[in-house]
């Protein structure tokens, strides 16, 4: 409403000026400007060129008092166009319309109303008014200069339609200029910078942070992006950013983005970033569960415009490291023995299972308790799903306190890929007691020294008797062994004598000169039939036991008697029976 009132006031002022002109004020002014004190510099040649007005018809001309108005960006300006009829006859129904344009380069003013047409009912000719100054009619417009207007001169065209005395409608165009003053970054219209290449505004990702600082697979995090306009002269507008995370997996199995926005949209909009300015963008994402421990790239696509609506595109990226939670489990420890004295050792064995999805580096187990000596067992690196075994010996050095309840802490430590150490405390069942001392029963401890000495003598005598008994047993065994060997030698000698006797008998049987009259040779006679003296029996050794006679084996058949071819008498002359057995030949 205020804007319309202002326009009405300006139009009223213009009407007053026209009235003064029509009333014959001295030195009529045909061009009026809302601002004639603008800070601009023009050469005289340029001023003369743009201060003139031209017409396509030599009989419809702009007044010779035309002055180019000055229009400043964002301000109002009054444009007055003086028109003079140079025909001898009058012209009726004269309509004057400015030629508008939507582009700033073609029309420097805002278009805020629907019609800018001005109508003059009658333009007096030379016959009706010989004085040209009296024939001038002024058309007045109020315009608002655009903010992005360039500094320089804009050409203004006005179409004029009129009816001549023959009732024929004719058209003419009058062209003038307006001097504009715009912002420095908008440039000029003079053409001096037409060939000058303007700087392209660049947008970069200045930096980023995540909250929390470490992003774990399957967790939510807030991403803070900082976008900077590197141009120091050009602002950017209408900025759109699209964030796209790396796609994991394969199309044949499953593909998915590593990071998903929790809000469902991955786009940002920024209205404007001034030259050299920055803006921060915040968005919450969720890291997909099951991601491997490694950095993942997030691409940023930027589409924007400069102040002249020139389109630009840019890209950026950030790398967000994702971590996996390190997890392990420990088997049931085996401690043998579970109770030791100071100075004794116990064997500790158990397994460590990597239940996470990342490698555990430099896994080691330490025992740091006052009751045992410090021990270290190095397991090494455990990949995901691997198992490590611990086998270590611990030595007691101090009795366990009562509050320990038979528990001793052990420390399991490992490192991640960045070298950060993680320690976890576990418990094993082990008790350390004081060293055992030799105790003497009270009844022996209270005995006098004399009784103690007697007891020692008894123990010595008992030991000596036991030793003597052992020696006697050894001697008896040796003697029996010697006798057995001697008996075996005697039996062997007797067997040899019997063998020699049998051989001699067999030799006698085969000699014809020694046969008896019956064809037999008696073993107790010589060749002449005389009885041979019996061999002397060896007297037994008084210190030697007589050998035990071997019992006859009735399970074996007796050897067949030798047939010497003699008579069947029951006893021969030498005392042999029918069976030819001589009792004298029996072994002593």
Residue 318 structural domain = 203-323
Residue 27 confidence (pLDDT): 35
Residue 289 confidence (pLDDT): 84
Residue 279 confidence (pLDDT): 93
Is 65 a domain residue? yes
Q: What is the rounded CA–CA span in Å between residue 322 and residue 296?
A: 7
Residue 301 confidence (pLDDT): 94
Residue 547 confidence (pLDDT): 44
Is 466 a domain residue? no
Q: Cα 351 to chain center, whole Å?
A: 25
Q: Cα 295 to chain center, whole Å?
A: 7
Is 125 a domain residue? yes
Among 375, 399, 433, residue at a domain's last position: 433
Same domain as 346, residue 296: no
- Show the tokens assigned to 105: 């380069």
Query: Residues 364, 369, 370, 376: what is their CA dihedral angle, to the nearest 10 degrees?
Result: -10
Q: What is the rounded CA–CA span in Å between residue 343 and residue 194?
A: 97
Same domain as 301, residue 155: no
Residues contacting 489, CB < 8 A, separation 6+: none
Task: List, for residues 97-139, the tens digit of each pLDDT value.
Answer: 999 988 888 899 999 888 889 999 999 999 988 998 889 999 9
Q: What is the pTM of this model?
A: 0.42
Q: What is the rounded CA–CA span in Å between residue 413 and residue 256?
A: 35
- Show the tokens assigned to 369: 């308790």
Among 160, 186, 212, residue at a domain's last position: 186
Characterize 40-51 residue by residue with b for buried, 16 or more Cβ atoms within 10 angstroms of its Cβ, and e for exposed.
Answer: eebeeeeeeebb
Within 510-525, residue ranges assigned H as helices are none
- Show the tokens assigned to 588: 């002593």
Opening angle at CA 264, ends 262 and 266, nearest 5: 95
Q: Are 396 and 366 in contact (CB under 8 A)?
A: no
Same domain as 278, residue 218: yes
Residue for token digits 């047993």? 473
Residue 449 confidence (pLDDT): 54
Is 382 a domain residue? yes
Same domain as 207, residue 352: no
Q: Are 431 and 335 in contact (CB under 8 A)?
A: no
Same domain as 332, residue 306: no
Same domain as 305, residue 408: no
Residue 13 confidence (pLDDT): 54
Residues of the chain scoring pLDDT < 70: 1-51, 191-198, 248-256, 436-453, 510-588
Q: Are 159 and 131 in contact (CB under 8 A)?
A: no
Is 440 a domain residue? no
Q: How many domains is the chain built from?
A: 3
Same domain as 335, residue 293: no
Residue 408 confidence (pLDDT): 87
Is 495 a domain residue? no
Same domain as 231, residue 152: no
Among 264, 293, 323, residue at a domain's last position: 323
Residue 484 confidence (pLDDT): 87
Is 517 a domain residue? no
Residue 242 confidence (pLDDT): 92
Give me the CATH number covering residue 278: 2.60.40.10
Residues in the chain: 588
Same domain as 92, residue 132: yes
Same domain as 372, residue 310: no
Residue 529 confidence (pLDDT): 46
Same domain as 211, residue 175: no
Residue 445 confidence (pLDDT): 52
Is 100 a domain residue? yes
Q: Cα 534 to chain center, whole Å?
A: 116
Same domain as 351, residue 274: no
Q: How many CB atoms are located within 10 Å of the residue 513 CB? A: 5
Residue 514 confidence (pLDDT): 46
């Amino acid at each position: 409403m205020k804007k319309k009132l202002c326009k009405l006031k300006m139009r009223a002022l213009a009407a007053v000026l026209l009235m003064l002109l029509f009333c014959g004020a001295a030195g009529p002014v045909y061009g009026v400007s809302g601002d004639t004190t603008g800070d601009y510099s023009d050469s005289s040649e340029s001023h003369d060129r743009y201060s003139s007005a031209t017409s396509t018809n030599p009989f419809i001309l702009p007044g010779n008092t035309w002055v180019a108005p000055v229009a400043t960006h964002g301000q109002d300006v009054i444009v007055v166009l003086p028109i003079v009829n140079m025909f001898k006859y009058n012209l009726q129904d004269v309509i004057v319309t400015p030629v508008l344009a939507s582009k700033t380069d073609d029309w420097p003013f805002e278009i805020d109303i629907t019609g800018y047409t001005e109508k003059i009912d009658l333009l007096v000719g030379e016959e009706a008014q010989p004085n040209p100054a009296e024939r001038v009619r002024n058309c007045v417009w109020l315009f608002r200069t655009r903010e992005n207007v360039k500094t320089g001169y804009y050409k203004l065209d006005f179409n004029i339609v009129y009816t001549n005395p023959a009732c024929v409608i004719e058209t003419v165009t009058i062209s003038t200029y307006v001097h504009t003053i715009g912002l420095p970054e908008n440039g000029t219209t003079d053409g001096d910078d037409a060939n000058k290449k303007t700087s392209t505004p660049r947008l970069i990702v200045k930096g980023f942070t995540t909250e929390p600082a470490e992003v774990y697979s399957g967790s939510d995090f807030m991403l803070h992006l900082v976008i900077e306009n590197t141009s120091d002269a050009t602002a950017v507008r209408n900025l759109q950013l699209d964030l796209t995370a790396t796609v994991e997996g394969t199309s044949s199995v499953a593909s998915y983005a590593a990071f998903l926005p929790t809000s469902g949209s991955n786009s940002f909009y920024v209205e404007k970033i001034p030259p050299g300015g920055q803006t921060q963008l915040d968005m919450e994402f969720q890291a997909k569960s099951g991601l491997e421990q490694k950095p993942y790239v997030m691409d940023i696509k930027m589409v924007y415009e400069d102040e002249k609506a020139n389109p630009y595109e840019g890209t950026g990226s950030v790398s967000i490291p994702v971590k996996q939670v390190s997890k392990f489990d420990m088997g049931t420890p085996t401690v043998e023995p579970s109770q030791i004295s100071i100075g004794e050792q116990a064997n500790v064995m158990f397994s460590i299972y990597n239940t996470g999805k990342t490698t555990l580096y430099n896994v080691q187990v330490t025992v740091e308790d006052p009751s045992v000596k410090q021990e270290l067992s190095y397991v090494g690196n455990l990949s995901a799903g691997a198992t490590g075994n611990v086998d270590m010996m611990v030595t007691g050095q101090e009795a366990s306190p009562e509050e320990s309840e038979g528990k001793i802490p052990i420390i399991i430590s490992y490192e991640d890929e960045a070298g950060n150490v993680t320690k976890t405390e576990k418990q094993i069942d082990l008790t350390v007691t004081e060293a055992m001392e030799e105790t003497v029963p009270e009844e022996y401890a209270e005995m006098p020294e004399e009784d103690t000495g007697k007891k020692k003598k008894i123990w010595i005598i008992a030991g000596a008797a036991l030793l003597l008994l052992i020696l006697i047993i050894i001697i008896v065994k040796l003697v029996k062994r010697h006798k057995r060997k001697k008996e075996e030698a005697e039996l062997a000698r007797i067997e040899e004598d019997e063998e020699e006797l049998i051989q001699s008998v067999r030799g006698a049987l085969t000699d014809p000169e020694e046969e008896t009259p019956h064809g037999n040779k008696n073993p107790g006679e010589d060749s002449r039939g005389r009885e041979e003296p019996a061999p002397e029996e060896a007297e037994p050794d008084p210190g030697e036991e007589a050998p035990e006679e071997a019992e006859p084996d009735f399970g074996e058949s007796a050897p067949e008697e030798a047939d010497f071819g003699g008579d069947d008498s029951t006893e021969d002359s030498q005392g042999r029976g029918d069976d030819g057995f001589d009792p004298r030949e029996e072994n002593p």
